[in-house]
Amino acid sequence: MEIVKDKIYQYIQNKELKIEIIMDTYNHYIYTIINGYHQKFSQEDKEEILLDVYLTLWNNREKLDINKSMKAYLAGITKNLMKKKARNQKQTENIDDYQEQLTEQQNIETIYLESQNNYSLLRELDKLKQEDREIFILYYYERKRIKEIAIKYKMTESKIKSKLFRMRRKLKKKLEEGGMIHGK
C-alpha cells in the first residue's frame, strides 16, 4: 500500500512554498470540487475560483500548519470561495430578477394600453361600411397590396388609396375624440 504524500511541508523547499508544483498537482482536484458543487458556475467563474484558491494559499503561506494535508487546505479554501461566489451571484440574480419583474410589469401595462387602443379601433372599424372595413383590414392587418385589393373589389388603385386615406382620417378623428391618441 502506497502512502499518499500530501503534507504541506512536502511542498516547501528552501523555506519557500512551491506554488507551481502545487498547481500542477492539484488543479484537477480543485476542478473536481468546483464541478461537484450544487451551484453551476461558468467556465470563467471556475477559472477565477481556481486562481483565487492559489492566491489565497500563497497569501496565507506563513500561517499554514506544515504537518496538515494540502488537500484539506485546498478543499477548504475552494469551498469557501465557491460559497462566496455563489452568494455574490445570487445577489446579482436577485437584482436581475427584480429588473425582469419591472420590465414584465411595464410590458403588461403596454400590452393593456395597446389592447385598449385596438379595442377602440375595432369598435370604430365596426361602424364603417362592411366593404370599407374589409379593405382597411386587408391593407393594414393582412398587409395585402393595394393592387390586390383593387382587383378583389373591382376598383382602381387610386380609389382604394382614396378610401384608405378617408378611413384613416375618420378613425384618427374618432380616436382623438375618445382620448386614445393625441393629435398634432
Domain assignment of residue 169, given as a range:
127-177
Give me the DSSP letters along 112-176. HHHHHHHHHHHHHHHTS-HHHHHHHHHHHTS---HHHHHHHTT--HHHHHHHHHHHHHHHHHHHH
pLDDT value at residue 124: 79
- Regarding whether 22 and 90 lie in a shared domain, the answer is yes
**Same domain membership, residue 12 and residue 67:** yes
Residue-level pLDDT at 65: 80
pLDDT in the model for residue 159: 94
Per-residue pLDDT of 162-172, as tens digits, reads 999 998 888 88
Give the Å distances, CA to CA, from 37 to 2, 5, 30, 55, 82: 29, 26, 11, 21, 8
The per-residue pLDDT for 3 is 44
List of the chain residues with pLDDT < 50: 1-3
Per-residue confidence (pLDDT) for residue 7, from 0 to 100: 77
Cα(136)–Cα(133) distance, rounded to whole angstroms? 5
Which residue, of 45, 76, 96, is where some domain finishes?
96
